[in-house]
Amino acid sequence: MLVLALRLQLLLQVEPDKMISPTNPVSVIVALLLALATAKVLIRQFGAPDTQGRFATIDGLRGYLALLVFLHHSCIWYFYLRTSAFESPPSNFFANIGRAGVALFFMITGFLFATKIIDAKTKGMDWIRLYVSRFLRLAPLYAFAMALLFISVAAVSGFALIDSPVTLAINALKWIGFTVLGEPDLNGVESTKLILAGVPWTLAYEWAFYLCLPLLSILIGAIPPFPILAIGFAGTLCFIKIHALPIFVAPFFSGILVALLVRRIWFRQIAERRISSLIAIAVVFSALILFPTTYSRIPLVLLSVGFALIAGGATLFGTLTNPLSRMLGEMAYSIYLLHGLVLFTLFHFIIGNYNARLLSPVEYWTSISLTTPVLILISFTTFNCIEKPAMQYTERVASWIRQAITIRQGASEKSF
């Protein structure tokens, strides 16, 4: 056992006197194992998710990315409780598991929707269904998160009205609009965005990209109707409004390039080899460990290479196609959007900020590890009670909109 412990210590490059450091990567391994154990219990009780979809490896990747963002913010909270500065932790690994998670989520978005547009080039894109599906995929859970955010703000402010009703209503609407118009403090609660761990800003980028899809359609030679083109220009304005940084937009384009690459048989054959899984792991870990931030050119290139291999079929030795990974992947959006609320509730309402500040690194990460199964159970519940039912209405809502448009067009023609 001593030999195994020493080998693990050398592998993680952790010095003996730092084995209880708050940035010890062993805490990530423990939390991930508990997440997988919880997923296994859920599968035994409710069954494994369906294996539908062309890109099983990407479906399996999502859950791990969301969990890494959760652990990234968990590490930030450790230092925030002591310094009141919500900043990246003093560790390349812990700083980058969150940043890389966001970048890879953006790559997934670029990849999947570029693939949809390319596939629809000959038969045409059903734009109504696409936007209805996006709205029903993101909005219901986001509305639930907003309700919890407003309740948390009310509790923190002692259920007293501090801002004027008009100011509070305007600021609340900004939050409800996927923070495209900003993330203002609510009712005098400073740093309101920390309640959600600051993650909604990424949804503003996602929506801006969705709105720009008609312009992407033009690039592949499929010109959509003018009303749809107007949506594309609205997406451009949305990027301008949120002051989109090129380094955050670049992963979307990486995903688009990967969508073109995986259509090549020769690349998929390479990606499916076992050596490609090893390469994918190596380049991703290099980006996480060797650079102070993944939001720079070389780390983004490394992440793009790893993502391309995974999208092409690299399973990371079967990890990404495992039923446990698919289970976590299903609830990835819930994990991503709700983990900030779970952390805020843990430290502000359950443990208390002062008591949490006194926790040793071991006690702190034990609390996070024990919270991980709770987050998984909450996310499983919200996926099945909010996300999944809403998505099942996609075709019905899209048909209703088509009928409404047809009736309106018919009425317009009769008026002439």
Higher pLDDT, 274 or 221: 274
**Exposure string (b/e) for 85-101, b if CB count within 10 Å is 16 or more?**
eeebbebbbbbbbbbbb
pLDDT for the residue 13: 44
Mean pLDDT score across all residues of the chain: 92
Q: What is the pLDDT of residues 152-203, one digit of tens each?
A: 999 999 999 999 999 999 999 999 999 999 999 999 999 999 999 999 999 9
Q: Is the pLDDT of residue 309 over 60?
A: yes
| Cα dist from 294 to 248, 250, 288, 291, 408, whole Å | 11, 12, 7, 7, 49
Kindly tell me if the per-residue pLDDT of 42 is higher than 50. Answer: yes
Confidence of residue 52 (pLDDT cuts 50, 70, 90): low
153 phi and psi angles, rounded to 5 deg: -60, -45
Q: What is the chain's Cα-based Rg?
A: 22
Asked if the structure places residue 60 within a domain, the reply is: yes
| Res. 413 pLDDT band, cuts 50 70 90 | low
State yes or no: pLDDT of 4 exceeds 70.
no
Determine the Cα–Cα distance for residues 301 and 78; give it in Å rounded to an integer.
Answer: 30
What mean pLDDT comes out for the span 231-251? 95
Instruction: With cut-offs at 50, 70 and 90, classify the pLDDT of residue 61.
Output: very high
Q: Does residue 116 carry a pLDDT above 90?
A: yes
Cα separation values, 312 from 50, 84, 373, 386, Å? 20, 43, 31, 31
- Cβ contact 154:146 at 8 Å: no
Instruction: Give the range among 10-14, 79-83, 288-292, 399-403 with minimum mean pLDDT.
Output: 10-14
Task: Note whether residue 13 is domain-resident.
Answer: no
- Residue 175 has a pLDDT of 97
Q: How far apart (Å, rounded) are the C-alpha atoms in residues 141 and 387? A: 6
| Alpha helices in 313-360, H assignment, sequence order | 323-330, 332-344, 353-357
Extract the tokens encoding 319: 């990890």
Q: For residue 378, name the pLDDT band (cuts at 50, 70, 90).
A: very high
Specify the pLDDT at position 53: 65
Average pLDDT score over residue span 212-234: 89
Residue 28 within any structural domain of the chain:
no
Model pLDDT, residue 8: 39
Q: Is residue 293 part of a domain?
A: yes
Tell me the average pLDDT across 212-229. 87
What does the alpha-carbon distance between residue 82 and residue 33 come to, in Å, rounded to a whole number?
A: 28
pLDDT computed for residue 286 by the predictor: 97
In the predicted structure, residue 306 carries a pLDDT above the cut 50: yes
State the pLDDT confidence band at 412, using cuts at 50, 70 and 90. low
Reduced to 3 states (helix: H, G, I; strand: E, B; else coil), residue 73 is: helix
pLDDT at position 12, please?
41
Report whether 174 contacts 196 (CB < 8 A): no
Structurally, the chain folds into a number of domains equal to 1
- Whether 19 shows a pLDDT value over 70: the answer reads no
| Residue type, position 95, single letter | A
In a domain, 45, yes or no: no
**pLDDT recorded at residue 303:** 98
Decide if pLDDT at 252 tops 90: yes
Q: Which domain holds residue 384?
A: 53-408
Pairwise CA distance, residues 23 & 135, whole Å: 38
Cα(273)–Cα(275) distance, integer angstroms: 5
Considering the domain boundaries, does residue 20 fall inside one? no
36 in any annotated domain: no
Residue 10 lies in a domain: no
- Range of weakest confidence among 57-71, 183-197, 210-224: 210-224
Alpha helices in 92-164, H assignment, sequence order:
92-119, 127-156
Q: Which helix (H) or strand (E) holds 226?
A: helix 226-241
